[in-house]
Amino acid sequence: MLKGFAQTPQWKAFAEAAYSADSRASNVRVLDAAGLKIDVSAQRMSPELDRAAAELLGFRGLDAARKALFAGEKVNSTEDRAAWHTILRDLAPPPAVALERERVRAFVQRADTERRWRNIVHIGIGGSDWGPRLAVEAFGYTGRWRSIRFVANIDGHAIEGGLAGLDPHDTLVVVSSKSFTTTETLHNAERALAWLRSAELPDPYQHFVAITANPQRAIEWGVPEAHVFRFWDWVGGRYSLWSSISLPVALAVGSEVIAGMQAGAAEMDEHFRQAPLLENAPVQLALAGVINRSVLGYASLAVVPYDTRLFYLVSYLQQLEMESLGKSVDKDGDAVDLPTGSAVWGMPGTDAQHTFFQWLHQGSDGAPVDFIVCRHHDHRWPEHHRQLLANCLAQRAALLRSKTVEESRDGVTPDELAMHKATPGGRPSNLIVLPRLTPHALGALLALYEHKVFVQSVIWGINPFDQWGVEYGKTMANGVARELAGDRQRPGQHDPSTAFWIQRLAAKSGS
């Protein structure tokens, strides 16, 4: 059914309508979703496009796919399991989920009551890292009595810095890993164990907590069973913030942050399920994304939060979007005959304006931009916030509005410079406005992107819940690591350059 998708009348009508639609934000279109305002005015827009989009979504079976997702059906076909992260933030979750939530809450409450664990060292990578990192950065800016450090990279400098200067007696090491087999995480956990051992603590393992979908493995490693918090194989790593993976966030910035984020995400879930297509924010963002990628040919999406507290949002969304949509075959294993998933990149504004905005304004390719900003601030300087808002709005407007060579001849600018000052305009963007940076708003924002990605996967016909390419790279790295440690290379196993460097670096890597 999915073969030759680009040749179907539904796709052709959609693409045609997108080409001829207005691209200059002639009308204001702002969607309301779970307390967020999502302005999609600066995307392609026309009544014909809306009609073609509804046809396309019907043809691709969005309704049934969404029902299957929320019902916990095995939507992850290549791994034969569900992707049921939505149930984790449900107000009435199944008993096993509720029990684990309660165990996390009780652990954190006890630690707080006893004022235990002044330092947390969090070890985990990818989906077992970005979510907690993002939430702690977003809500920890005022400072708390507990310090938390995140160690992800296999680079020994990461764990060295993560442990440096801490008092082992009051340090809790949280090891987060869905599989409990990830090389980076296990190596770093071993280093932390050795560090605790060297402090001659009565039982170093009591300083560990494990969060995993493979509890047996964590227990075998040595973590006491009471310190092992579980989640399930039907929770994808990049969707795991809603599970026990949030424990370090609760320790660092409070359990209420987790509860608030879950409530915001649950409200976005409801919006996604109920809102009509035209008002449905994840659906409209997804359609705009598909147009930008597959019709207009933009290869990337820039994400620019005008809020320094959202520093890790870009990394979080990079994993969410690129691990989910970085696929070129459909669910049947046939090549998708359209470009799929965009590269996601960015950084907070206004820093971004002084880094890559020139390329956005006048580069030959350009990219759509997601501008994200809070209406209200939480600091004491309204003038700073006015400037921040002004920059966000102005950059978006400048990307939209062209400046012709004629306009650039403003009477002051010499003629030979006018050409350099002209900008093409018509760059697509979204403006997402949070009321303020509350846990509820951040939860809603993350769920908005999750569902946007899901709808895009439905349109392209791909499975957004696996990541076989990453697994391939991991396997290769394990083999190379063994060769660097002295194993013989099999002739012809590597390309000549890789073989050369393995040989060259093998002698050095031990020192």
Ligand X SMILES: O=P(O)(O)OC[C@H]1O[C@](O)(CO)[C@@H](O)[C@@H]1O
Residues found near ligand X in the complex (CB under 6 A): 125-128, 177-179, 182, 185, 237-238, 323, 467, 470
Closest CA to 29 of 18, 17, 42: 42
226: three-class secondary structure by DSSP: helix
Beta carbon of residue 219, minimum distance to ligand X (angstroms, whole number): 16
Beta carbon of residue 27, minimum distance to ligand X (angstroms, whole number): 40
Active site residue 474: yes
> Per DSSP, which regions of 202-251 are E strands?
208-212, 228-230
Residue 125 or 437 with smaller CB distance to ligand X: 125
Pairing of strands 147-151, 119-123: parallel
Residue 389 or 470 with smaller CB distance to ligand X: 470
Q: How far apart are CA 429 and CA 369, in angstroms?
A: 5
61: three-class secondary structure by DSSP: coil
What DSSP designation does 295 have? I
Determine which one of 100, 321, 323, 483 is catalytic: 323
Sheet order of strands, 208-212 included: 147-151, 119-123, 171-176, 208-212, 228-230
Residue 237 or 349 with smaller CB distance to ligand X: 237
Active site residue 354: yes
Residue 272 or 316 with smaller CB distance to ligand X: 316
Determine which one of 37, 385, 403, 474 is catalytic: 474
Q: How far apart are CA 72 and CA 70, in angstroms?
A: 5
Residue 356 near residue 302 (C-beta atoms within 8 A): yes
Beta carbon of residue 140, minimum distance to ligand X (angstroms, whole number): 22
Q: How far apart are CA 504 and CA 494, in angstroms?
A: 14
Beta carbon of residue 348, minimum distance to ligand X (angstroms, whole number): 23
Residue 366 or 464 with smaller CB distance to ligand X: 464
Residue 155 or 365 with smaller CB distance to ligand X: 155
Instruction: Please return the burial class of 126, using the count of CB atoms within 10 Å of its CB with bins 0-12, 13-18 and 19+.
Output: buried
Q: How far apart are CA 285 and CA 367, in angstroms?
A: 15
Q: How far apart are CA 174 and CA 150, in angstroms?
A: 10
Residue 255 or 467 with smaller CB distance to ligand X: 467
Beta carbon of residue 482, minimum distance to ligand X (angstroms, whole number): 20
Closest CA to 447 of 320, 342, 288: 320
Residue 129 or 137 with smaller CB distance to ligand X: 129
228: three-class secondary structure by DSSP: strand
Residue nearest to ligand X (CB): 237
What DSSP designation does 225 have? G
- At 496, which amino acid appears? P
Residue 359 or 468 with smaller CB distance to ligand X: 468
Beta carbon of residue 387, minimum distance to ligand X (angstroms, whole number): 37
Determine which one of 157, 354, 379, 508 is catalytic: 354
Instruction: Please return the burial class of 365, using the count of CB atoms within 10 Å of its CB with bins 0-12, 13-18 and 19+.
Output: exposed
Q: How many helices (H) and strands (E) does the chain have?
A: 20, 11
Closest CA to 371 of 315, 431, 286: 431
**Residues contacting 222, CB < 8 A, separation 6+:** 193, 205, 208
Burial 218-229 (b: 16+ CB within 10 A, else e): bbebebeeebbb
Angle at CA 441, nearest 5°, toward 439 and 24? Answer: 155
Residue 158 or 259 with smaller CB distance to ligand X: 158
Closest CA to 14 of 365, 283, 288: 288
Give one word for 2, left, alpha or beta, with left for phi > 0 and alpha for psi -120 to 50. Answer: alpha
Query: Could you identify the residue written with the tokens 């990049």?
Result: 238
Q: Which residues are catalytic?
A: 323, 354, 474
